[in-house]
């Protein structure tokens, strides 16, 4: 079989060959076991297979013309953009088929939203990012303002409300917006974090069919686990999993810089309020005291390094943060905590109340520069600057206390926030270790070869991006600067 996806940007043609055995490939001979959404699933087994890089996964999202058009039109409405719209979800995974009728779908993304991706007749013009929720009930206006379901009993409704997929209510799928030719750089970035024992979301590469009453569109998508309450519960024991989780982004209220003056942007997203630190758990009970104390401490405590080390150890999982920072430098994403004060989660573990940083959104890693040509490959690990097109002094106080320092009289941070030398040395050693470990073309090629649908030729960058080999060579050269 030949799988073809004509990418709209720059007339790039991606062709993927899905080679099946010559014997037993007749459709009548394929033994798919159909599992209805109400049947019990072994969620652990499903989860492991869903995020197994070697799994062959084809997902179909079947919309009515009305539901997909409303999804598009609501995507930039502050009050309705997070409303879910009905979709019939089918997942063919290896030898089984899973059906979730009347699941919910909405568009996601900050800069990628496109209300014109489909017209009112169901004609599809481009892909968009989706969030899928399999537990929608659609029986009040919070669920949906035009599609309503009725239930014969409360038991029937609760059965749907408790519907899960791999123990989760939701997952995300993202199209290849930045035209990474191999489709796998971002997945490799997440794998680097996971390999070092850090908390990070699972992801995979899958084929997706978007189907309306009058059209269909097929392309590759990245499947992503959502970072939410179920994500935390899967990774922590019962006592440790009831803490505050924040999504930290550069929102309309400003950057999540951890500066003292950013504390006004702590809250819960609602309507036109999009906080930089958006609480995702404990929305009815949290007073944000742990995050406020964290920001206040790293900004206002100007004690000596030796004394501050004890203070910091009590509010931050320092070991994981140093690993997080070193890997972030190796991966080279300009749109992160260190550079653009963006795209990370903070979780305050509920036994020791320490902050844990969780990486998020790496669609600009390993030399991906489409539409935003920020050169990350030449940046040394010790830089005291934000690494954007315009390079300004680093303003994040946590960076100054843990991994960077300067004696420049123009930068008062070096006086107010003296670096903890032990942490700085650990960070440096980790940068060297991870660069040599993960900036390896052969290692990346082996990684790419696992996927059913990935483009295996990693020598082609796609768009205005660097090849993986070119990025690695330049990044490793920074140690000789």
What average pLDDT does the chain have? 90
Identify whether the C-beta of residue 340 lies closer than 8 Å to the C-beta of residue 250.
yes
pLDDT at 408: 66
The per-residue pLDDT for 142 is: 84
Report whether pLDDT(316) > 90: yes
Please work out, in degrees rounded to the nearest 5, the angle formed at the alpha carbon of residue 177 by the alpha carbons of 171 and 182. Answer: 90
Instruction: Please give the residue that has the higher pLDDT: either 142 or 467.
Output: 467
Q: How far is CA 456 from the centre of its chain?
A: 23
What 3-state DSSP class applies to 288?
coil
Q: Is 155 left (phi over 0), alpha (psi -120 to 50) or beta?
A: alpha
Whether the per-residue pLDDT at 190 is higher than 60: the answer is yes
Spatial separation of the C-alpha atoms in residues 403 and 303, rounded to whole Å: 17
Closest CA relative to residue 351, chosen from 239, 237, 199, 231 = 239
| pLDDT tens readout for residues 401-452 | 999 987 666 777 777 888 999 999 999 999 999 999 999 999 999 999 999 9
The residue length of the chain stands at 481
373: which residues sit within 8 A by CB, 6+ positions away? 389, 464
* Gyration radius (Cα) of the chain, Å: 23
Question: Could you tell me the pLDDT band of residue 24, with boundaries at 50, 70 and 90?
Answer: very low
pLDDT digits (tens, 9 = 90+) for 233-289: 999 999 999 999 999 999 999 999 999 999 999 999 988 899 999 999 999 999 999
Q: What is the pLDDT of residues 45-88, one digit of tens each?
A: 999 999 999 999 999 999 999 999 999 999 989 889 999 999 99
The pLDDT value given to residue 101: 94
What six digits make up the tokens of 120? 């009112």
**C-alpha to C-alpha distance for 398 and 394, rounded to whole angstroms:** 10
Is residue 3 scored above 70 in pLDDT?
Answer: no
The residue that leads in pLDDT, 395 or 38, is 395
Mean pLDDT of 108-129: 95
Query: Taking the model in full, what pTM does it have?
Result: 0.91
């Amino acid at each position: 079989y030949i799988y073809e996806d004509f990418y709209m940007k720059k007339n790039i043609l991606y062709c993927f060959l899905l080679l099946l055995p010559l014997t037993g490939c007749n459709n009548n001979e394929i033994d798919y076991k159909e599992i209805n959404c109400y049947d019990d699933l072994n969620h652990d087994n499903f989860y492991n297979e869903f995020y197994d890089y070697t799994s062959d996964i084809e997902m179909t999202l079947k919309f009515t013309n009305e539901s997909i058009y409303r999804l598009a039109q609501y995507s930039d409405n502050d009050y309705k953009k997070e409303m879910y719209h009905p979709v019939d979800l089918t997942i063919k995974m290896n030898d089984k088929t899973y059906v979730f009728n009347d699941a919910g779908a909405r568009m996601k993304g900050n800069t990628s939203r496109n209300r014109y991706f489909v017209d009112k007749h169901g004609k599809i013009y481009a892909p968009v990012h989706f969030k899928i929720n399999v537990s929608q009930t659609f029986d009040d206006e919070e669920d949906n303002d035009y599609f309503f379901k009725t239930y014969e009993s409360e038991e029937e409704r609760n059965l749907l409300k408790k519907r899960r997929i791999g123990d989760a209510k939701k997952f995300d799928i993202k199209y290849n917006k930045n035209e990474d030719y191999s489709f796998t750089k971002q997945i490799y970035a997440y794998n680097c974090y996971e390999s070092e024992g850090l908390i990070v979301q699972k992801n995979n590469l899958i084929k997706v069919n978007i189907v309306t009453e009058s059209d269909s569109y097929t392309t590759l998508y990245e499947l992503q686990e959502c970072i939410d309450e179920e994500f935390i519960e899967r990774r922590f024991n019962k006592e440790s999993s009831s803490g505050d989780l924040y999504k930290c982004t550069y929102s309309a209220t400003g950057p999540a810089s951890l500066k003292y003056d950013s504390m006004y942007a702590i809250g819960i997203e609602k309507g036109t309020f999009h906080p930089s630190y958006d609480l995702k758990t404990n929305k009815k009970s949290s007073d944000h005291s742990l995050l406020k104390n964290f920001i206040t401490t790293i900004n206002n405590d100007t004690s000596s390094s030796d004394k501050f080390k004890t203070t910091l150890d009590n509010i931050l999982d320092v070991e994981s943060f140093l690993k997080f920072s070193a890997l972030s430098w190796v991966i080279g994403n300009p749109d992160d905590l260190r550079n653009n004060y963006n795209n990370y989660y903070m979780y305050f573990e509920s036994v020791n109340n320490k902050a844990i940083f969780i990486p998020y959104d790496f669609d600009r890693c390993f030399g991906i520069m489409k539409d935003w040509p920020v050169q990350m490959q030449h940046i040394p690990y010790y830089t005291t600057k934000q690494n954007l097109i315009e390079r300004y002094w680093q303003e994040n106080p946590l960076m100054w206390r843990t991994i960077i320092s300067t004696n420049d009289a123009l930068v008062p941070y070096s006086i107010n926030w003296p670096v903890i030398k032990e942490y700085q040395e650990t960070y440096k050693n980790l940068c060297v270790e991870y660069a040599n470990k993960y900036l390896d073309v052969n290692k990346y090629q082996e990684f790419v070869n696992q996927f059913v649908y990935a483009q295996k030729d990693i020598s082609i960058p796609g768009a205005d991006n660097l090849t993986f080999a070119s990025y690695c060579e330049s990044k490793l050269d920074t140690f000789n600067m």
